[in-house]
Every structure is written in C-alpha cells, then in structure tokens.
C-alpha cells in the first residue's frame, strides 16, 4: 500500500485533480496539502497544464508512488506531451531538463507558450457529465480528465458532448467558497445549471469533434 501526500492519479487524470481529491477525501485545506508537497501556499496555475515545481512535487512522493519519477508525471498527467509532440529529441530533452530544475516559467518561454496568445486554453477545469457518471461507476471516483483540458478542445472525445467548466449560478471552477470541488460539484447540488464551454444549443461542427 502506498502512503503519500496525495492519491495515485487515475488513468488520464490531469495533475491538479488528485490534489483536489485529497482535499475532498481528508478535509484538509489545499494550501496545507501544497505546503507538504512543494512548500507552496497557493494552488498551482491550471492554465497550460504543466506544474511549475516539478522536481519538488516528485521529490515529495514516496518511492513507490508513480509521481516519484518526474517523467512519469509529465507523460501521463500533464499536457507536456501535447506541447512537445512535434519537437526534436534535443528540444524535448532541453524542456525536460528545465522542468526538472523547477524553472517552469522558463520552459513556457522555450516552448513558445508564454507568447502564444489565444482563447483556446482552458481557463477553468473542464469536464464531461457523461464521463463523470461513468467514472463514478468505474473506478469509483470522478476526476478532471487531461484530454478535456487540451487547447482548442470543447467536446469530449468519448461522448461528443460539449464540456462544462462551471455553474451559471455558482460560477466557474474552482467554485467560490468551494475550492475543494470535483467535477459536477457546486452549491446547487443536483440542481446545478452547467456553463458549457461553447453554446450547447448550436449543432456541433464536425471540425470541433475532430479536434477532440
């Protein structure tokens, strides 16, 4: 049994989601969890989907935890593979070395992410309602999927349904005064009115589904 500050990530779970799950499960404030992981007090930036303090995060994990290997964390639970997919091996290794030295902002510059301005980045955590229902059945917990946080992705690649990033009444994720909120959670409980990433009343263009 692995004893760690945060639970082992589910398949395809974005890296900040297990941190939220740990807070939900234990009732511990997220800032206390983060202080134990990497000494920080604020939640890691969600935009761009790469942790800025990779080495500290990996170093805080027990040896048996998958994230004790920073490459495992990057490859399976961040958007890093997406950003370097067309890079040369030399560029990949340089970016990896920069991240392992906890110079996250520097790698954003080297990958061109800091200067790349558009509205395609997921400003708020996104989820698919059908995935939430499926996840509760197996593996038994709902979580934020990495595939739903990719730039330009507005629909679920499994269900072709428009993604959600908040509630019309409670706001965008993370819900105000409900920081430890998982997909589908808000103050409205089962009566929540989802905020769709794009207009749900307009027929989906095949291109939008293809991008997902």
Tell me which of 31 and 152 has the higher pLDDT: 152
**pLDDT grade for 126, boundaries at 50, 70 and 90:** very high
The rounded mean pLDDT for the chain is 79
48-81 burial by CB neighbour count: b if 16+ within 10 A, else e? bbbbbbbbebbebbeeebebbebeebbebbbbbe
- Is residue 136 pLDDT above 90, yes or no? yes
Residue 96 CA: distances (Å) to CA of 5, 48, 67, 131, 208: 24, 15, 15, 31, 31
Report the relative pairing of strands 164-167 and 171-172 from DSSP bridges.
antiparallel
**pLDDT grade for 3, boundaries at 50, 70 and 90:** very low
**pTM of structure:** 0.84
Tell me which of 110 and 212 has the higher pLDDT: 110
At 171, is the secondary structure helix, strand, or coil? strand
- Is residue 31 pLDDT above 70, yes or no? yes
Q: What is the pLDDT of residue 46?
A: 45
Q: How large is the average pLDDT for residues 125-153?
A: 93
For the chain, percent of residues with pLDDT exceeding 70: 71
**pLDDT grade for 170, boundaries at 50, 70 and 90:** confident
Burial of 131 (0-12, 13-18, 19+ CB in 10 A): buried
Q: What is the pLDDT of residue 146?
A: 95
- Is residue 153 pLDDT above 60, yes or no? yes
């Amino acid at each position: 049994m692995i004893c760690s500050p945060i639970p082992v990530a589910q398949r395809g779970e974005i890296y900040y989601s297990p941190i939220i799950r740990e807070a939900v499960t234990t009732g511990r404030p997220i800032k206390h969890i983060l202080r134990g992981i990497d000494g920080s007090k604020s939640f890691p930036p969600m935009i761009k989907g790469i942790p800025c303090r990779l080495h500290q995060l990996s170093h805080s994990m027990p040896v048996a935890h998958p994230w004790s290997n920073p490459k495992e964390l990057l490859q399976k639970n961040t958007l890093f593979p997406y950003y370097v997919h067309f890079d040369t091996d030399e560029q990949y290794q340089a970016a990896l070395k920069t991240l392992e030295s906890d110079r996250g902002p520097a790698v954003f510059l080297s990958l061109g992410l800091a200067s790349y301005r558009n509205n395609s980045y997921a400003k708020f955590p996104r989820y698919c309602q059908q995935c939430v229902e499926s996840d509760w059945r197996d593996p038994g917990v709902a979580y934020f999927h990495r595939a739903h946080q990719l730039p330009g992705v507005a629909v679920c690649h499994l269900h072709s349904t428009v993604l959600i990033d908040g509630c019309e009444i409670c706001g965008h994720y993370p819900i105000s005064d409900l920081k430890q909120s998982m997909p589908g959670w808000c103050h409205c409980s089962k009566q929540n009115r989802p905020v769709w990433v794009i207009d749900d009343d307009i027929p989906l263009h095949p291109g939008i589904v293809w991008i997902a």
